[in-house]
Chains A and B, each alone.
Chain A
Amino acid sequence: MTATTSPTNVSFRGVRKRFGSADALDAIDVELGHGVTGLLGPNGAGKTTLLRILATVIAPTSGRIRLLGLDPDDLQERVELRRTLGYLPQELGFPRGFTAFRFVDYMAVLKEWTEPSTRHAEVRRVLELVGALAFCTKHIRVLSGGQRRRVALAQALLGDPGLLVLDEPTTGLDPEQRAVLRGVLSAAGKRSTVVLATHQTEDVAALCERVIVLDGGRIRWAGKVTDLVSTAVGKVWLADVPDPGALSSWRTGTGRHHHVGARPPAHAELVEPSLEDAYLLLLGRAETLSDAEPGLASAS
């Protein structure tokens, strides 16, 4: 399946990445324009590998890629691309001795912001965007995990990048910070292409227009978030008793049982599905019903 929006800023054609004898990504076709796209998938699905290729950290084993109209295989074009690329890796360490401001300032120089007063203004802007201006003079080593994450995000936002690649940006953030971040990223999505990987389906539901579900290095589903959610309509219900036949089931805070599965019992109370329900259903179906529905299982 191919995710397509217009105009195309990200184009993957038959992209494959092997590590040793294992395929981390296999035959990935993706086309993305402006807006926020969420990458979902279980651990080891290939999300981080896909993001690392998008961020030009690693090259694919085969396949063709165009990012913002540039070819990352070409050295000159790769440098040009990196000038308008923001990247937040899953885990970012910080060099010792830096304050938050100094670190983002250092990154701004590496992004070729050479004029000090303009650079400092830009550093203050991105720190303010992520709510880090208040503690920007503190050494990074004394900051909390959430504060560090915001500093790391600030460097990715330098210069309003045309392509913003974020690997689990909300990890370690409290609900209020996550809400602020959603505002920042949705605003960025109006001007640029934002791709984020996360395990938080609620972030994707709240923020992304599109979602790509990866599993085993292949795309299981790609399209609008609302379309994915609609695949779970009529397949999520509440009941007073557990249902061992459901794909996924848990006891909610009200004492009732939330079931996700294809066959609701006769007296079940159907509820509005969430993205998480649709995601669980999709992966559950892909694993258990692949023989019955080969079109879905081989969507990529």
Chain B
Amino acid sequence: MSASTLQNGSTVIGDRIVARRSILALAVLEARRLVSHPVLVLGLVAYVSSFPILFGISYADADFTGDPKAVGTYEWQAMGAFFVGLFGFVAANRIARSTSRTTGVVDVAPMSESRRSLALCLAGLVPFAVTLLGNLLILTAWLVHPPVLAVGWAEVTMSEKLWVVATASLAGLGGPVLGVAVARWWRWPSALAVSTAALVLWGASSALRDTNLALRLWHVSAPYTTPDYGDARSPVVWLGGSLEWRFAYVCGLIVLAVIAAVAHGTTGASRRRLKRLALGSGMLTLLAYLLAVFAGPATRVLAP
């Protein structure tokens, strides 16, 4: 049934039904475009290809005939965040911007820009599912056959492991959603390059030992960061802070990115409603962030 047929004698409820159906229908199309975008395809191939390497290292020298390879158990979560989250960020950004070529007709379609943005954000659930499944696969494999020499595997609780997997997997959703928001608001030519570099720098620079409050604040603030830290001169430590609240904080960041993406192109009452929603979500996100910094356990040494 076409929308115009359904709209005859339409009601508010009818409009909402049409709106939801059209968002879902578009989300399906956008998900197909997203997962077939060359950048994300490359990321997904790299991500899946990293599994045999990971398992090869995990179980190398299992008979202890040589030096076993140490596995940074939690750094491996970065593979999904990087290859799916970051590549998804770029792909979603390119897809969101691609319709600017067709502005004349897209802008006069009954489906508004905010609904199109929401559909694109929903399409991010596919890379999220891939990342979550990949991370759960690694976790399950290690639970069945623990790595030969894993840093901090036994010292970290199951609950902590699950929160780390859950939070890291959010990158698969957060990347594409942020990509859409950036595409909607920053339309200058190098916006994608600048925002990609900023995102990489933010994530990479947050992987540090939280020896003071400022460093702890910075470490927790990143959308993706590793939960442990170690280098050649110091022992491996499990960084302090609440993993549960950090998960909530990252969820809050994603909600804010969705609101930002959807808000573009809205006016009047819709814009005011979204501003109120952004304010409420922003405050909850800030609260979750502060709790993630202060509410969790202190930093502890995993391995000397």
Query: Residues on A close to B: CB < 8 A?
Result: 55-57, 75, 79-80, 82-85, 87-89, 91-97, 105-107, 109-116, 118-119, 122, 152, 155-156, 159
Contact between chains at A94 and B29 (CB < 8 Å): no
- Whether B105 and A79, one on each chain, are in contact in the complex, defined by CB atoms closer than 8 angstroms, is no
Partner of B105, one of A80, A119, A156: A156
Identify the interface centre among B1, B2, B7, B268: most chain A CB within 10 Å of its CB: B2
Interface size on B, residues (CB 8 A): 33
Check if A118 sits within 8 Å of B110, measured CB to CB. no
Select from chain A the residue with minimum beta-carbon distance to B24: A114
- For A88, what are the chain B residues with a Cβ–Cβ distance below 8 Å? 105
Using Cβ atoms and an 8 Å threshold, which residues of chain B touch A56? Answer: 108
- Residues of B that sit less than 8 Å from A by CB: 1-4, 6-7, 10, 18, 21-22, 24-26, 29, 33, 36-37, 95, 98-99, 101-102, 104-112, 116, 268
The chain A residue with its CB closest to the CB of B269 is A75
In the assembled complex, how far is the CB of residue B49 from the closest CB belonging to chain A, in whole angstroms?
A: 24
Bound-state Cα–Cα, A91 to B110, Å: 20
Cα separation A79 to B4 with both chains bound (whole Å): 11
Bound CA span A93–B268, Å: 30
Give A158's nearest chain B residue, CB to CB: B2
8 Å CB contact of A114 from B25, B33, B101, B102:
B25
Interface centre among B37, B102, B116 (most CB of A within 10 A): B102
- Closest A residue by C-beta to B18: A112
The answer on a CB contact under 8 Å between B3 and A111 is: yes
Which B residues lie within 8 Å of A113 (CB)?
Answer: 2-3, 25
Besides the known contacts A80-B110, A106-B29, 20 further A-B residue pairs in the complex with CB atoms under 8 A apart? A55-B108, A80-B10, A83-B110, A89-B104, A89-B105, A93-B101, A93-B102, A95-B98, A97-B36, A107-B105, A107-B109, A109-B26, A110-B26, A110-B116, A111-B111, A112-B18, A112-B110, A113-B2, A113-B25, A114-B3
Are B104 and A92 in contact (CB-based, < 8 A)?
yes
Interface Cβ pair total, 8 Å cutoff = 97
Q: Is the interface of B mostly helix, strand, loop or mixed?
A: helix
Known: A107-B105, A109-B25, A115-B1. A83 touches B98 (CB 8 A): no
- Tell me, in angstroms, the Cα distance from A95 to B97 when the chains sit together: 9
Which of B6, B37, B99, B110: most chain A Cβ within 10 A? Answer: B110
A232 to B29, CA, bound (A): 54
| Cα distance, A83 to B116, chains bound together (Å) | 16
Decide if A57 touches B107 in the complex (CB within 8 Å). Answer: yes
B109 proximity list for chain A (CB < 8 A):
82, 107, 110-111
Docked CA distance A115–B18 (Å): 11
Determine how close the nearest CB of chain B comes to the CB of A93; give it in whole angstroms: 3
Q: Tell me, in angstroms, the Cα distance from A234 to B18 when the chains sit together.
A: 58
Q: Are B98 and A96 in contact (CB under 8 A)?
A: yes
Choose from B24, B110, B116 the contact partner of A82 (Cβ within 8 Å).
B110
Q: Are A105 and B29 in contact (CB-based, < 8 A)?
A: yes
Q: CA of A87 to CA of B103 in the docked complex: distance in angstroms?
A: 12
Closest B-chain residue to A122, C-beta based? B2
- CA A111 – CA B112 in complex, angstroms? 10
Given known contacts A82-B110, A83-B7, A118 and B99 CB-to-CB distance under 8 angstroms: no
Asked if B22 contacts A92 (CB within 8 A), the reply is: no
**Contact between chains at A87 and B108 (CB < 8 Å):** yes
For the complex, give the distance between the alpha carbons of A114 and B29 in Å. 11
